[in-house]
Amino acid sequence: MITSVDQMNSVHKVDTSENIFDMNYFSWNVRCILIAAGFLFYFTVFILSHGLCLVLSVTYCTLPAKEKVFWNLAVTRGVFGIQSMVAGLWALLKDSELHADKILGQRNWCWFNILIAIGFFMLENAALHGSNAIFKTFDVALAVHHFFAISGFATNLIWDNIGHYLPMMILLLEMSTPFTCISWILLKAGFSHILLWKLNQWLMIHLFHCRMILTYHIWWVCWQNLEMIKLHVPVPQAVLFFSGLFLLTFIINPHWKRKKTMQLFNPVDWNFAKENSKRANGEMKILKKTI
């Protein structure tokens, strides 16, 4: 026999499960909490990656500090890429309300992902500029990429009446990130000759083609809704969005696709090729002196 207390508990459970994303996303308190949660979650992934790799990976222990930071960032980006891919595919294939209004349509689950993404991008920028200061380096291309990532998503907080379909499509561009992570780690571990690395590289190159197709889709959506964009999207936000989209479409995606294709036939760590060459030359000089 079902009592009234049991019925109330069951109703409460249903309400909780259905309203997991049901928060007031226009409250700055909620926004700050979720941004901080995103930052702390991915920082925890970074720290866990460091701890586990110290125990499990001989290769990791032999790397210079700068490459260890890059390794852990690669793992963190890979986890974020999985979250972004799930969110982006859901928006592209399943959410009919977003498709009904691609410029102004908003969803609570999209707000959740946008705020968590801002937290992740804050971590990425902190790690980038912190490592640049510590190791006295500066990667202009990466700095520009990270600037557009965090500032583009931050505009959704400033002009919060704009829809979520396009931000979710931008997140879907992270579809290649988990495979980039696997590629780099296997390469550093000396497994670029095995079938798994080559299959992962082929899949990653294919996903870079998909990224390019997705950017064309974004341009098409913007073209189809140009009057709505002129009417509702503020000029600063539009300038930032289309500038970043232009860079992605015509410079970043083609450049990365070309490098990953070259890497398939010539497995080289492009990120630290100069540093590794200098280190090797220094070791050779020391060896010659000792001989």
pLDDT digits (tens, 9 = 90+) for 39-74: 999 999 999 999 999 999 999 999 999 999 999 999
Q: Name the least confident of 94-103, 125-134, 209-218.
A: 125-134
Amino acid 133: pLDDT: 87
Q: What is the pLDDT of residues 179-230, one digit of tens each?
A: 999 999 999 999 999 999 999 999 999 999 999 999 999 999 999 999 999 9
Mean pLDDT of the 254-264 span: 93
Band of residue 15 on the pLDDT scale cut at 50, 70, 90: very low
Is the pLDDT at 288 greater than 50, yes or no?
no
Amino acid 42: pLDDT: 98
Q: Residue 8 domain-assigned?
A: no
Amino acid 217: pLDDT: 98
- Expressed as residue numbers, the domain containing 214 is 28-266
Q: What is the mean pLDDT of the chain?
A: 88
Looking at per-residue pLDDT, the higher value among 283 and 250 belongs to: 250
Q: Residue 251 domain-assigned?
A: yes
Q: What is the pLDDT of residues 150-187, one digit of tens each?
A: 999 999 999 999 999 999 999 999 999 999 999 999 99
Is the pLDDT at 1 greater than 50, yes or no?
no
Amino acid 22: pLDDT: 87
Is the pLDDT at 28 greater than 90, yes or no?
yes
Amino acid 275: pLDDT: 61
Q: Residue 75 domain-assigned?
A: yes
DSSP string, the chain: ---HHHHHHHHHHHHHHHTTT-S-TT-HHHHHHHHHHHHHHHHHHHHHHHHHHHHH-HHHHHS-HHHHHHHHHHHHHHHHHHHHHHHHHHHHHT-HHHHH-TTT---HHHHHHHHHHHHHHHHHHHHHHHHHHHHT---HHHHHHHHHHHHHHHHHHHSTTS-SHHHHHHHHGGGGHHHHHHHHHHHHTT-TTSHHHHHHHHHHHHHHHHHHHHHHHHHHHHHHTHHHHHHHS-HHHHHHHHHHHHHIIIIIHHHHHHHHHHHHHS---GGGHHHHHHHHHHHHHHHHHH-
Q: Residue 124 domain-assigned?
A: yes
Q: Residue 19 domain-assigned?
A: no
Amino acid 143: pLDDT: 85
Amino acid 8: pLDDT: 38
Q: What is the pLDDT of residues 72-91, one digit of tens each?
A: 999 999 999 999 999 999 99
Looking at per-residue pLDDT, the higher value among 277 and 256 belongs to: 256
Is the pLDDT at 238 greater than 60, yes or no?
yes
Band of residue 7 on the pLDDT scale cut at 50, 70, 90: very low
Amino acid 12: pLDDT: 37
Amino acid 4: pLDDT: 40
Mean pLDDT of the 147-152 span: 93
Is the pLDDT at 138 greater than 60, yes or no?
yes
- Angle between helix 28-56 and 108-135 (nearest 10): 50
Is the pLDDT at 282 greater than 50, yes or no?
no
Q: Residue 23 domain-assigned?
A: no
Q: Residue 245 domain-assigned?
A: yes
Mean pLDDT of the 128-136 span: 87
Q: How far apart are CA 261 and CA 220, in angstroms?
A: 27
Q: Residue 21 domain-assigned?
A: no
Is the pLDDT at 289 greater than 70, yes or no?
no
Q: What is the dihedral of CA 176, 177, 180, 184, to 10 degrees?
A: 180
Domain total of the chain: 1
